[in-house]
Amino acid sequence: MYRILSKKILNETVQLMEIEAPYIARRCEPGQFVILRVDENGERIPLTIADYDRERKTVTIIYQIVGYSTKKLSQKEAGDTIQDIAGPLGKPSELKKHKRVLGIGGGVGAAPLYPQIKKLSEMGVNVDVILGGRTKEYVILEDKFREICQNVYIATDDGSRGHRGLVTDVLTKLIEEGKEYDEVIAIGPLVMMKAVCAITREYHIPTSVSLNPIMIDGTGMCGGCRVTVGGKIKFACVDGPDFDGHLVDFEECMRRQRMYKEEEHVCLIGLEG
Amino acid sequence: MPNMSLKKVPMPEQDSKIRTKNFSEVALGYTEEQAVEEALRCLQCKHKPCVKGCPVNVPIPEFIKEIAAGEFKKAYEIIVRENRLPAICGRVCPQESQCEGNCVRGIKGEPVGIGRLERFAADYYMKNVKNDVKEVEKNGKRVAVVGAGPAGLTCAGELAKMGYEVTIFEALHTPGGVLMYGIPEFRLPKALVEREIENIRKLGVKIETNVLVGRSITIDELFEEGYQAVFIGSGAGLPKFMGIEGENLNGVYAANEFLTRSNLMKAYDFPNSPTPIKVGKNVAVIGGGNVAMDAARTAKRLGAENVYIVYRRSEEEMPARLEEIHHAKEEGIQMKLLTNPVRILGKEGWVTGMECIEMELGEPDASGRRRPVPKAGSEFILPVETVIIAIGQTPNPLIRQTTEGLDTHSWGGIIVKEETMETSKENVYAGGDVVTGAATVILAMGAGKKAAKAIHERLNK
Ligand SMILES: Cc1cc2nc3c(=O)[nH]c(=O)nc-3n(C[C@H](O)[C@H](O)[C@H](O)COP(=O)(O)OP(=O)(O)OC[C@H]3O[C@@H](n4cnc5c(N)ncnc54)[C@H](O)[C@@H]3O)c2cc1C
Ligand SMILES: Cc1cc2nc3c(=O)[nH]c(=O)nc-3n(C[C@H](O)[C@H](O)[C@H](O)COP(=O)(O)OP(=O)(O)OC[C@H]3O[C@@H](n4cnc5c(N)ncnc54)[C@H](O)[C@@H]3O)c2cc1C
Ligand code: SF4
Ligand code: FES
C-alpha cells in the first residue's frame, strides 16, 4: 500500500497527486513512468513521473480523468492509499546538452514534458515551450514552466488564452520567424505528436516524442505495448517510451490504441460520481 | 496385497461440455477411497526407478505407502521434505516423462498415478491440517532473491529454513510468476497458489512486490544494501514474435499478453474486473507447447466458436503435456498440424485471416527431430479474427543490461556452473527459466534448491 501525501485539482479533468514510493523516488529519472493499480481488483495503468523528491521519497503524478481507473484514482484523497505502484519503468530520456530546445505539451502531455524540460534547464540548456489546451482551463503547469523557460507560448482552441488555434500553428510561426532549435520534444495526443513531426521533418529538426500505447505489465513481458519505429518492432515500456518521432509509425499507434474502444465504454458503467 | 489393475484409478473431471463455459478446475482430484486404491497399485520397488525420474527426488514409494495406510498427513510431510510446492507440482508436472515415465507398472499397463497422489496428499493437508510453522532461529545473514516464480520461491524457502533472512523482489503486484499469470485457473486454481506462497511467507520470507530489479534497484545496489548473496530467478518472460507480415494488427496477441490479461488481471470476469480482453469467433493459436494449449483453451472459455492450434510439426513432436493435449481435444480445440503461418491478413487494421502453408517432415535436424519443410503451392487461408502467438519466450534483457560482469549466452540465458548455479559474478546465483530458457516448474524448483544449498555452503566458509 502506498500513501497519497497530497492532492491538487489542476482543472475540471486533471489532477495531481504526490505519492510515497521510496524505491521509485530514489532512482527515477525524467522520461520514466510508473504502473499503478488503484485498488485490489484494479487494472494496471501507466502514468509518467511528473516530478520527484528523493528526500521525501515521493513521486508526483498528473493524470487526466478519461475512464474507469483514472476516475477511481480521482476519488482518492490525501491520506488514502493506493494498492500498487511499480517503477521507475521505461528508459530515462536521453537529454543532450544542446544550445536551445523547444518543448511542446498538448493538454495533460505538459505533465510528462515537465521533468525533461526541468532537467534540461538544470543542464544549462535554453528552453522554450508551447503549451496547448482546449480552453485556458486545460493549460496546465504554466507557472512551473515559466520558472525554468525563456519563453512560454500558449495555444488554445477557442483563443481564451494565447494564440487561438493549435500548438503546431505556433511551432510553424516560431520557425518562420527564424528561431533555431537543436531539438523539439513533443508530448501529447498521438495526432498532435504526428502533426508536430510532419513539420519538424520538413525543417530537419530532430524530434523526440513520448509514446503512450496500451500497457499491461510495463516490464517487457507481454508485448502489448509494441510499436513500429524505423521499421522495427519495439516495446514502448522497455525500449521507450521516448522515440525519434520521425521514425514512428503513428497510424499504427493510433489504431492499436483504439483496440478496446468498446470495452472501455462498458467499464464506466456502475461507477459513481 | 497390491492392486494389480492395469489402469490408474480414473480421476473425476468436469464434463467437457460444461467446463468450456467456466474457468473452474477441470480435474477434480481423488477422494480418500480412490487415493488409497491407487496407492495400493505401487509395488514399493527397492531400486525406486520413479525417484530417479523426479528432478527433486521426492521419496515416492515412502509417501505412497503412507497413503495406502490412510496416513495422509504423514504422506504430505514426507513430500515437503523435498518439494515445497506439492499441490502445484502434482497438477502441472509432465509426469509421463518424469517419475511416471520410469514406473515399473508402466511396462505393462499404466504407471502408478504418482502426480495424482502427490496432489491428493497436498490438498488433504491444506484442507484438514492447521499448519503452524516452527520459528527458525535466524543466523543474521541476508540473501536477496529476484523473482517470485517457482525457482525464487523455492530458493527463498530453503534458505529461510536454514535461518537466513530472505527478501524476494518481484516486479509484478502478485508473487507466483508463471503460476499466477501464465497457467490458467482451470488447470491451477490461483487460491491454491496463494496458499502455497503463504506457507513460504510463514517460514519468514519477505516478499517485496512492485520492484523491478534493474530499474527499481540493481544487483550491485542489493549488495550495498547488505545482502550477502543474490539468487536470480527472473524466468523467461520475453515473448518471441514470428516476424511475419501483419503481426501488429489489432487482434494479434502474444500468448503472454493474452494469458496475463485473463489470469492475472481476471479479464475473463470483465466487466467485473476492469481489464478488457478481445476474442473473435474464430481464433488461431500458433505453437504446440503448454502455452499454446492454455491459450487455446482460454480462448474457448472466453466464447470463441472455432479455436485452431496451428503447429508446424505433427502431434508426436508436440511439447505440451499429454493430458492437456487430450483435454484440449475433448474441449473441441481443432488441431491444424504440419501447418505454418505465412502472414496475417487484415482489413482496416483488424485481423481477418491468416495465410498458412502445409508442411511435411524432412530429414532429422541437429536436435534429432525431423525438420518440417513447406509443401510448395499448398497455401490456404484460415479465416480468423484473433491470432495468439505462442512460439516461445526468452529471458528479459533488463538484468543482464544493468549488471556488469554477469555472463550470458547469445540467446540471453544466464551462464551458471551446473553443480552450484553460480554465475560469473561473485555471490550471484541463478536458476530456472532464466538459465535454461522456458522449461518446467519442477526444474525451476530443483535449481532454486541447489542454489540455496550452494549459497549456504559459501556463506559458511
Ligand atoms: C508511458 C505512458 C505514460 C502515460 N502518462 C500519462 C500521464 O502522465 N498522465 C495521463 O493523464 N495519462 C498518461 N498516460 C495515459 C494513461 O495511461 C491513460 O489515460 C489511462 O490508462 C486511462 O485509463 P482509464 O481506465 O482511466 O481509461 P480507459 O477506460 O482505459 O480508457 C479511456 C480512454 O483512454 C484511452 N486510453 C486507454 N489507455 C490509454 C493509454 N495507455 N494511453 C492513452 N490513452 C489511453 C482510451 O482509448 C479511451 O479513449 C500514459 C500512458 C503511457 C503508456
Ligand atoms: C502458459 C504456461 C504454461 C505452462 N505450463 C506448464 C506445465 O504445465 N508444467 C510445467 O512444469 N511447466 C509449465 N510451464 C513452464 C513453467 O511455468 C516455467 O518453467 C516456470 O514457471 C519457471 O519458473 P521460474 O521461477 O524460473 O520463472 P517464472 O515463473 O517466470 O517467474 C519469474 C518471476 O520473476 C519476475 N521477474 C522477472 N524479471 C524481474 C526483475 N527484473 N525484477 C524482479 N522480478 C522479476 C517475474 O515477474 C516472475 O514473477 C508453463 C509456462 C507457461 C508460460
Ligand atoms: S516405480 Fe512405480 S511401482 Fe515402483 S516404487 Fe515407484 S511408483 Fe511404486
Ligand atoms: S506493457 Fe507488456 S511488454 Fe510493454
**CATH number of the domain enclosing A56:** 2.40.30.10
Q: Which of B366, B371, B411 is nearest to B392 (CA)?
A: B411
| CA–CA gap between residue A25 and residue A218 (Å, rounded) | 18
pLDDT at A264: 64
| CA–CA gap between residue A10 and residue A139 (Å, rounded) | 9
| CA–CA gap between residue A272 and residue A103 (Å, rounded) | 37
Tell me the CA distances in angstroms from A236 to A31, B48, B391, one per residue in order: 12, 52, 21
Mutation target for B interface from A219, A227, A234, A254: give the one with most B CBs within 10 A.
A219
| CA–CA gap between residue A48 and residue A62 (Å, rounded) | 8
**H or E segment to which residue A235 belongs:** strand A232-235
Domain around A240: 211-272
Annotated binding-site residue? A62:
yes
> In A, which residues are within 8 Å of B398 by CB distance?
219-220, 238
Domain boundary among A60, A89, A118: A89
For residue A12, the SS3 value is: coil
Same domain, yes or no: A263 and A205 = no
- CATH code: domain of residue A157: 3.40.50.80
> In B, which residues are within 8 Å of A270 by CB distance?
271
The pLDDT > 70 percentage for chain A reads 96
| CA–CA gap between residue A228 and residue A249 (Å, rounded) | 6
Q: Which of B172, B250, B275 sits opposite A259 (nearest CB)?
A: B250
Please give the domain boundaries of chain B with CATH numbers for all domains.
16-128 (1.10.1060.10), 142-237+395-460 (3.50.50.60), 241-389 (3.50.50.60)
The sign of the dihedral angle between the CA atoms of A168, A227, A88, B427 is negative
**H or E segment to which residue B38 belongs:** helix B32-39
Q: B150-161 vs B441-459: helix axis angle to the nearest 10?
A: 40
What's the pLDDT tens digit per position in B38-59? 999 999 999 999 999 999 999 9
Q: What is the DSSP letter of B260?
A: I
Same domain, yes or no: A219 and A205 = no
Same domain, yes or no: A137 and A41 = no
Tell me the CA distances in angstroms from B221 to A21, A27, B217, B228, B404, one per residue in order: 18, 11, 6, 11, 12
| CA–CA gap between residue A257 and residue B156 (Å, rounded) | 40
For residue A7, the SS3 value is: strand
> In A, which residues are within 8 Å of B250 by CB distance?
255-256, 258-259
Grid coordinates standing for B203? 517460514
Q: B114-128 vs B32-39: helix axis angle to the nearest 10?
A: 140
The band of B129, judged by pLDDT with boundaries at 50, 70 and 90, is confident
| CA–CA gap between residue A30 and residue A140 (Å, rounded) | 18
Count residue pairs from A and B with Cβ separation < 8 A. 113
Grid coordinates standing for B414? 544466464
Q: Is the CB of B294 under 6 A from ligand 2?
A: yes
Q: Which of B145, B240, B164, B163 is nearest to B444 (CA)?
A: B145
Ligand nearest to the CA of A62: 1
Mutation target for B interface from A66, A222, A238: give the one with most B CBs within 10 A.
A222
- Residue A230, Ramachandran bin (φ over 0: left; ψ between -120 and 50: alpha; else beta): left
Which residues are CB-contacts of B272 (< 8 A; sequence separation ≥ 6)? none
Same domain, yes or no: A111 and A205 = yes
Cβ separation of A89 and B248 shorter than 8 Å? no
Nearest residue in A to B174, CA atom? A84
Answer whether A1 touches B (CB < 8 Å).
no
The gap between the terminal CA atoms of chain B, to the nearest Å, is 51
> In B, which residues are within 8 Å of A44 by CB distance?
173, 265, 275
Annotated binding-site residue? A63:
yes
Torsion of CA A140, A146, A148, A152, to 10 degrees: 90
Our separate counts of H helices and E strands in chain A read 9, 17
For residue B202, the SS3 value is: helix
Q: What is the mean pLDDT of residues B417-430?
A: 93
> In A, which residues are within 8 Å of B260 by CB distance?
216-217, 221-222
Asked whether residue B130 carries a pLDDT value surpassing 90, the answer given is no
What's the pLDDT tens digit per position in A6-19? 999 998 889 999 99
Given ligand 1 and candidates A33, A47, A265, which is best to mutate, with the most ligand atoms within 8 Å of its CB?
A47
Cβ separation of A267 and B274 shorter than 8 Å? yes
What's the pLDDT tens digit per position in B425-456? 999 999 999 999 999 999 999 999 999 999 99
Q: Considering chain A, what is the average pLDDT of its residues?
A: 91
Answer whether A214 touches B (CB < 8 Å).
no
Number of domains in chain A: 3
What's the pLDDT tens digit per position in A226-253? 999 999 999 999 998 999 999 999 999 9
Q: Which of A87, A88, A226 sits opposite B248 (nearest CB)?
A: A226
Same domain, yes or no: A52 and A128 = no
pLDDT at A269: 45
Nearest residue in B to A89, CA atom? B215
Residues of chain B that touch chain A, judged by Cβ-Cβ distance less than 8 Å: 171-173, 209-212, 215-217, 237-239, 241, 247-248, 250, 253-254, 256-257, 260-261, 265-266, 270-271, 273-276, 278, 349, 396-398
Tell me which amino acid residue A172 is. Answer: T
Mutation target for B interface from A72, A217, A264: give the one with most B CBs within 10 A.
A217
Same domain, yes or no: A98 and A172 = yes
Same domain, yes or no: A82 and A180 = no
Residue-wise DSSP of A143-185:
HHHHHH-SEEEEEETT-SSSEES-HHHHHHHHHHTT---SEEE
Same domain, yes or no: A31 and A55 = yes
Answer whether A143 touches B (CB < 8 Å).
no
Measured between CA atoms, how close is A231 to chain B, in angstroms? Answer: 11
**H or E segment to which residue B402 belongs:** helix B398-402
Domain boundary among A155, A176, A209: A209
| CA–CA gap between residue B31 and residue B12 (Å, rounded) | 9
Q: What is the mean pLDDT of residues B129-147?
A: 85
Annotated binding-site residue? A267:
no
Same domain, yes or no: A177 and A190 = yes
Q: Do A234 and A240 form a contact (C-beta atoms < 8 A)?
A: yes
Same domain, yes or no: A82 and A117 = no
ipTM of the modeled complex: 0.88
Q: Is the CB of B44 under 6 A from ligand 3?
A: yes
| CA–CA gap between residue A150 and residue A120 (Å, rounded) | 12
Q: A190-202 vs A250-257: helix axis angle to the nearest 10?
A: 180
Same domain, yes or no: A75 and A171 = no
Q: Which of A27, A224, A255 sits opposite B349 (nearest CB)?
A: A255
Ligand nearest to the CA of A236: 4
- Angle made by CA atoms A90, A91, A97, in degrees to the nearest 5: 145
Half-sphere exposure at residue B132, Cβ-oriented, CA atoms within 13 angstroms: 0
The band of A165, judged by pLDDT with boundaries at 50, 70 and 90, is confident
For residue B206, the SS3 value is: strand
Measured between CA atoms, how close is A220 to chain B, in angstroms? Answer: 6
pLDDT at B132: 67
Q: Do B165 and B141 form a contact (C-beta atoms < 8 A)?
A: yes
Q: Which of A264, A255, A240, A260 is nearest to A187 (CA)?
A: A240
Which residues are CB-contacts of A33 (< 8 A; sequence separation ≥ 6)? A46, A47, A48, A49, A87, A88, A89, A90, A112, A218, A241
Which residues face B253 on adjacent strands?
B388
What's the pLDDT tens digit per position in B272-321? 788 888 899 999 999 999 999 999 999 999 999 999 999 999 898 899 98
**H or E segment to which residue A14 belongs:** strand A14-20
Count other Cβ atoms within 10 Å, centred on residue B460. Answer: 9
Answer whether A27 touches B (CB < 8 Å).
yes
Same domain, yes or no: A172 and A71 = no
> In B, which residues are within 8 Å of A258 by CB distance?
250
Domain boundary among A33, A66, A89: A89
The pLDDT > 90 percentage for chain A reads 74
Q: Do A69 and A38 form a contact (C-beta atoms < 8 A)?
A: yes
Q: Which residue lies with its CA nearest to atom 40 of ligand 1?
A: A214
Asked whether residue B406 carries a pLDDT value surpassing 90, the answer given is yes
